[in-house]
Structure 1
Amino acid sequence: MTTDRRTEIVLPGVVTPDGLQIRMSPIPTPGTGQVVIRMEATGVSFAEQQMRRGRYYDQPPFPFVPGYDLVGVVQAAGPGTDPVLLGQRVAALTKVGGWASHVVVEAADVVPVPAGLDPAAAETVVVNGITAWQMLHRKARVRAGQTVLVHGANGGVGTTLAQLARLAGAQVIGTASPRHHDRLRELGITPIDYHADVPAAVRKIAPGGVDAVFDHLGARSVSDSWRLLAPGGTLVAYGSASTRDDTGSKQLPVLRILARVWTWNALPNGRRGYFYNIWAGRPLAKQRFRARLRDDLGQVLEAMAQGHLSAQIAARFPLARAADALRLAESGTVTGKVILTP
């Protein structure tokens, strides 16, 4: 890779993974308040899997460069930025644009990465870590001694969420394919086969219900999750993975979840439901959003730096093999996050 050119992976439309395109362009110059990050690691999240199908509820028009987050070194800083940022390793949440060798972001949006932390390891907990931390502590407010259910505990968010819940002193029940159960047990998670009768299996472990459920599946699973809550429990829905391959409106599955949550919250039953959106509140309270991002992600990265949180890296691919990385991530056969490197 030449030092004066940028490599980007372009999603041109609704395509198979092999339809991703590689584009070369000059490395951009940062504007006022911006920095250029030389990417060291980015990742494949569920969002990109939805985006290539045109199913992510607020994705930009095609063509665009996907990539929800990244870790890298600040290579250039524009006017109005702190020069101390130059040469620093930082993490950034981008939603799109991360699948590139060099990425322009607002300097106010970067979060320092602790010294000595491997970039790929840090990358596993950027969008996954901020999502897990905020759902666990800002929504469900999980405490020591409680029992929680994590759907898809082998996935990128799931493995991070389960570890953070264990770190908080909670018992964790996690759904996954049997091929992942041994790994989940190593992380202190009680595994359940997601093909089985999940509500019945959970009831055997927690007859009185669970204190929190984290559900990325949507559709019928959200109703099952709500019924599994103990008195005073909290449901946090954060996606609709079960409708990934559906056709029709991409907003409708989310709207249906929101309607259910609003209806349940209107009932005097002592339980609460949320639909978590990582970007909620940013348009109206950008500074508050940035402060929470820095604080929450900073705590997750520090937990990893101290050895309390282990990186779950499913595989590493060079950026040029983004199609292979996406294909593997979509296969459902891996534990953790698929990483792309320069």
Structure 2
Amino acid sequence: MHTYGAIRYYQFGNPADVLQLVYRRIPKPDAGEVLVRMTARPINPSDLIPIRGAYSHRIPLPSIPGYEGVGIIEAIGPSVDPSLLGKRVLPLRSEGTWQERLIASAELVIPVPNDLNDEIASQLYINPVTAWVICTEALRLYPGDFMVVNAGGSSIGRIFAQLSVILGYRLIAITRSSSHTQELLSLGASHVIDTSKPNMPSVREAVLTITEGRGAAAAIDSVGGAEGEELAYSTCTGGTLISIGLLSGIPVHWGEVSRASQTAVQLFWLRNWVREASVGKWHETFGQLIDWVQQNRLRLSGISQRYELAQVKQAVFAAETPARQGKVLLVDACNLTKQ
């Protein structure tokens, strides 16, 4: 019997405690499906937060984590174009990617150009698509508008900085370390507020100073808690705050904050956009992002460490190490030699 390895969790909790390596029988793709052999998957906060139970109401157990990754099509189902065999693709909108093989819809896989390596290709979904959709569809920022983001040194923070150059808005990035300042400025941020500096004014005061008292037109909160609340008070009257994450693990009572700050608060869930996007829109979005990556107008995170699936506990620990620089990848054993 031919089997493959997959990471599963049967209960919610600390990822290093609840993740298990199991073996499953290799499936055959049905009509319109392809079987993809995975080669690389990044570990994102959005992969780990659900494992801890933050969205337990909508995640059935047992579950396989992983929202993005890249692989090679090694089998096709009936009615699928044979030319797809052997193609490198992003097998998205399917079962979790933290497994050696998975079944995906043939019409939804995203072909990967030869000049994009697995390290870059595997990161093309969660952060780039989220940032692009927020800027162009949710906010519709005008050139010259100020947008402020916290967790500015994160992967998505760096993407917002680069999109500011492409789209023309002005980015104020908030960080908790001076180590990110020069990189963010070089990527396109107009200003960086380093809250670790002694005697720093509040974020609100700093943003008002930069914007000559007006406040930012928009804010992006990835943190929640007190930092998320403070961000709402940094926008102009009638401004918009979009919540995209909860890195602090502390939820915000956004209704109360919205009324007090006179800021319109929106919760952004990429899955909602994905559910409504047509197949054409899906491919068009990735086509645009891939073009910018190929033109070097959009640079994604470097890789700090690589682990096999069987080393998932070590990989998760490494991914959550505060001093880490770059992404942690779960890869095939043969790819470990590329460090």
Percent identity, aligned pairs only, is 28
Partner of 1:249: none
Supply the distance in 2 between the matched residues of 1:205 and 1:87 (Cα, whole angstroms): 52
1:242 alignment partner, SS class: coil
Aligned pairs (5 A) from 1:98-247: 98-178=97-177, 179-189=179-189, 190-194=191-195, 197-207=202-212, 208-230=214-236, 233-243=239-249
5+ residue gaps in structure 2?
Answer: 333-339
1:340 alignment partner, SS class: strand
| 1:282 Cα offset (Å) | 5.4
Supply the distance in 2 between the matched residues of 1:11 and 1:162 (Cα, whole angstroms): 35
Instruction: Provide, for residues 55-98 of structure 1, a one-character-per-residue CA deviation record: whole Å limited to 9, x for no partner.
Output: 23555233321101111222211123233322222223347511
Partner of 2:336: none
Supply the distance in 1 between the matched residues of 2:297 and 2:142 (Cα, whole angstroms): 17
Supply the distance in 2 between the matched residues of 1:137 and 1:57 (Cα, whole angstroms): 30
Partner of 1:304: 293
Mapped contact 1:313–1:338 kept (Cα < 8 A): no
Mapped contact 1:155–1:336 kept (Cα < 8 A): no
Aligned pairs (5 A) from 1:258-269: 259=255
Question: For residues 232 and 114 of structure 1, do their structure 2 counterparts lie closer, same or farther at Cα, with a shift above 3 Å needed?
Answer: farther
Supply the distance in 2 between the matched residues of 1:172 and 1:307 (Cα, whole angstroms): 19
Instruction: Provide, for residues 16-66 of structure 1, a one-character-per-residue CA deviation record: whole Å limited to 9, x for no partner.
Output: 415422223332211222111121221111122212311235552333211
Question: For residues 199 and 121 of structure 1, do their structure 2 counterparts lie closer, same or farther at Cα, with a shift above 3 Å needed?
Answer: same
Runs of 4+ deviating beyond 6 Å: none
Letter in 1 for 2:36: I
Partner of 2:337: none
Question: For residues 281 and 146 of structure 1, do their structure 2 counterparts lie closer, same or farther at Cα, with a shift above 3 Å needed?
Answer: closer
Mapped contact 1:6–1:27 kept (Cα < 8 A): yes
| 1:298 Cα offset (Å) | 2.2
State which drifts further: 231-240 or 305-314.
231-240
1:311 alignment partner, SS class: coil
Supply the distance in 2 between the matched residues of 1:89 and 1:327 (Cα, whole angstroms): 29
Question: For residues 281 and 125 of structure 1, do their structure 2 counterparts lie closer, same or farther at Cα, with a shift above 3 Å needed?
Answer: closer
TM-score in terms of structure 1 length = 0.83
Q: Which protein, 1 or 2, shows the higher relative CO under an 8 Å CA cutoff with sep ≥ 6?
A: 1
State which drifts further: 97-106 or 79-88.
79-88
TM-score in terms of structure 2 length = 0.84
Letter in 2 for 1:203: L
Mapped contact 1:124–1:156 kept (Cα < 8 A): no
Supply the distance in 1 between the matched residues of 2:167 and 2:61 (Cα, whole angstroms): 41
1:204 alignment partner, SS class: helix
Letter in 2 for 1:209: G
Mapped contact 1:237–1:275 kept (Cα < 8 A): yes
The count of residues paired between Structure 1 and Structure 2 equals: 322
5+ residue gaps in structure 1?
Answer: 245-252
Aligned pairs (5 A) from 1:14-163: 14-56=13-55, 58-94=57-93, 97-163=96-162
Supply the distance in 2 between the matched residues of 1:80 and 1:241 (Cα, whole angstroms): 43
